[in-house]
Chain A
């Protein structure tokens, strides 16, 4: 068995977005397909994590991979996140392309040293001489009463620490293309999938969790935001599940003559600052919708991007985030802190009222 050198690129073909009515997949299946297609063509790609084998991933990110590729390349691990994430790093350094799953983003507390002090820093500390082509994927987000330790998004924390690309897809098409790009990347990529966009049968899901996905391999480039909906009155910059809530609100207020533009960031690192500035230049009103905690995070960063570019662009700014409390358990309390459609709609109305 030979491994391609870390610098060898796979196909970088970009597909056009599929026509309506074409083959439809859930986000989970789209991720599985991306991993399968890369594993078929590249022996150096392998998958590792807790319950990613016969269970298929607690949130179905790896369903069917064990049956297809066997237990040498699809490995269940002990509940030893430091050991197996670090193992992924060492394997990546030696030319493999590990896809490692941290079951919940919330679990980073037991293994963060490997993530931020090793995975993310080795390339820099080595002056570019050592590459760590590794995907660290993890489930995030709440809305199903899983409590304070199993419902957090936390992508802003990873994005804050230098050396990791941070990818957060909102839909099946992007999930496949971004996963393929993440596997191909010579840099460590944190791939955060919100449970609510996966299209799981056992959890409330949005209508767009199942969507058209081309069968062939394609790349969605990491670092390019998507205009999910064009508009002229107010810009919502958001990501992941909140994209769908924002689109729902945009559709609802359209009949009242309020035109909302929705920017789906798709990645935090690199951040598509141009897309943010371009949209706010058009609308002059900015709402950031983020299911991560409000303070010291993504939402403040987005506003700073615009303010540093030209503060006079901003006629109105607001945030719809999780206020700075742990995610509560009881449904009534949890939905009081999540960025719901009702909160987003109120923010939109407030923005256009001035």
Chain B
């Protein structure tokens, strides 16, 4: 059996998608290890090398890899409180991103932001810890691109819980009304912390909500990176060519807890979750169809391991912020208050 080769999805492109997913997973596993490393014996959320809430994206790699394969650093993307996969796939530097997560002066935000507040102007990447509220700024980025008359696009990624927020609906209407070059992506990982989608959302597919605003909507099932790639390719091309916004919902998987330390006692599918891990599934498919060799996969893992280790080492070796600098950067000029 061979996989169909489309104009864009060559075997090399498939390996690139897998490689991105492997890099993301390797990164999240390393952050997880660093997060727990010095929180023993008693878990203290504010202690250790990596303090604070930590929302890791394992299982959602197909969304990031499938979308970002169509973007350049000139395109904008906004993410959520669970942002690492999108940042990595979009090309945010691992060193400054990791340093920010470790709260270091060399971080993206000089230690002022943290893992939910990553801003990288060089790749137009940002995120927001407030549900659905990353969408309106993405519209503004798309608005600027539209006014500038270039073919750049903005992608706003949010979760299925956000689709029940007012800002989500306001944003869809405004994006469609002004035909902005924006693609709105809903990552449906089935859970809003502990509340299952069935208890939060009145319809089966949030993609149906696109029709209410006069824009195309599609739901991608199966957490398939190739299906995401295809849907995102179509929507992003439409936005680039002046065809306006689109909505994509991807049925993805939260492989780990809402945040680290979440025992997930509310989750009945806990035992079977690992069976749905998208990385071994896609890897095996590429191996079986001859797209990938064992050697190539090992090379991906080893390259990812080296890059992630380099970033973690950089973060650990970076200075912590001078406490006397806590007042800096409230404003770009003048006094703070």
Residue contact B329 to A87, C-beta cutoff 8 Å: no
Residue contact B174 to A78, C-beta cutoff 8 Å: yes
**A117, CB-defined interface residue at 8 Å:** yes
**Residue in chain A with minimal CB distance to B139:** A87
Contact among A72, A117, A118, A126 with B109 in the assembled complex (CB-CB below 8 Å): A126
- A92-B173 in contact given A117-B128, A127-B110, A129-B109 (Cβ < 8 Å): no
Bound-complex Cα distance A271 to B149 (A)? 40
Task: State how many angstroms separate the Cβ of A152 from the closest Cβ of chain B.
Answer: 22
Residue contact A83 to B167, C-beta cutoff 8 Å: yes
Bound-complex Cα distance A1 to B150 (A)? 10
Q: List 11 A-B contacts (CB under 8 A).
A: A83-B167, A83-B173, A86-B133, A96-B144, A98-B140, A117-B130, A125-B109, A125-B117, A128-B110, A162-B337, A165-B331
B332 partner residues in chain A, CB cutoff 8 A? 123, 128, 131, 186-187
Task: State how many angstroms separate the Cβ of A293 from the closest Cβ of chain B.
Answer: 20
**B248, CB-defined interface residue at 8 Å:** no
- A83-B136 in contact given A90-B143, A91-B141, A91-B144 (Cβ < 8 Å): yes
- A186-B112 in contact given A80-B170, A83-B171, A84-B174 (Cβ < 8 Å): no
Residue contact A125 to B119, C-beta cutoff 8 Å: yes
**A93, CB-defined interface residue at 8 Å:** yes
- A90-B136 in contact given A82-B167, A124-B329, A270-B336 (Cβ < 8 Å): yes
Bound-complex Cα distance A114 to B166 (A)? 12
| Residues of chain A in range 49-78 having any CB-CB distance to chain B below 8 Å | 72, 77-78
**A303, CB-defined interface residue at 8 Å:** no
Instruction: Give the total number of A-B pairs whose CB atoms are below 8 A apart.
Output: 168
| Residues of chain A in range 235-294 having any CB-CB distance to chain B below 8 Å | 269-271
- Nearest 9 A/B pairs, CB to CB: A86-B136, A90-B140, A127-B110, A94-B144, A90-B137, A83-B170, A126-B119, A80-B170, A125-B113
Interface flags for A337-348 (1: CB within 8 Å of B; 0: not) read 000000000000
Bound-complex Cα distance A94 to B147 (A)? 11
**A130, CB-defined interface residue at 8 Å:** yes
Chain A residues packing against B (C-beta within 8 Å): 1, 3, 46, 72, 77-78, 80, 82-96, 98, 110, 113-114, 117-118, 121-131, 162-163, 165, 185-187, 222-223, 269-271
Residue contact B128 to A187, C-beta cutoff 8 Å: no
B177 partner residues in chain A, CB cutoff 8 A? 78
Residue contact B333 to A185, C-beta cutoff 8 Å: yes
Residue contact A163 to B174, C-beta cutoff 8 Å: no
**B27, CB-defined interface residue at 8 Å:** no
**B148, CB-defined interface residue at 8 Å:** yes
Bound-complex Cα distance A163 to B148 (A)? 28
Bound-complex Cα distance A38 to B208 (A)? 43
- A187-B329 in contact given A77-B174, A127-B108 (Cβ < 8 Å): no
